[in-house]
Structure 1
């Protein structure tokens, strides 16, 4: 896990990181909005997001 950066150690964050975080946040919000508009149940949306978060955490821990 040596390639994981804690944000508090990277403060102040560079402009590149701020732009990437904003873009990620917007993409997630847009995808959730599209899923809601398509009629997906909220529980399914939450479950999918939670599953991806767990998978990414597992990947960071095992690398």
Structure 2
């Protein structure tokens, strides 16, 4: 059995017309209609790239209590 695939967009009136099929008159065929899922935009992998960064008091020393490694 040979499989052929075509992609079509549904008409307003709910009909699909397919022309020039590679079959002979009287030949039995099977038609399967599959709805394609809407594609979703992929999330940005790194959402903070090219975003401005604001440092508040970048030269201030960090208190020992603020270091996570020392709090264990």
TM range (shorter): under 0.3
Larger Rg: 2
- More helix per residue: 1
Per the normalisation by structure 1, the TM-score is: 0.20
Specify which structure has the bigger relative contact order, considering alpha-carbon pairs within 8 angstroms and separated by 6 or more residues.
1
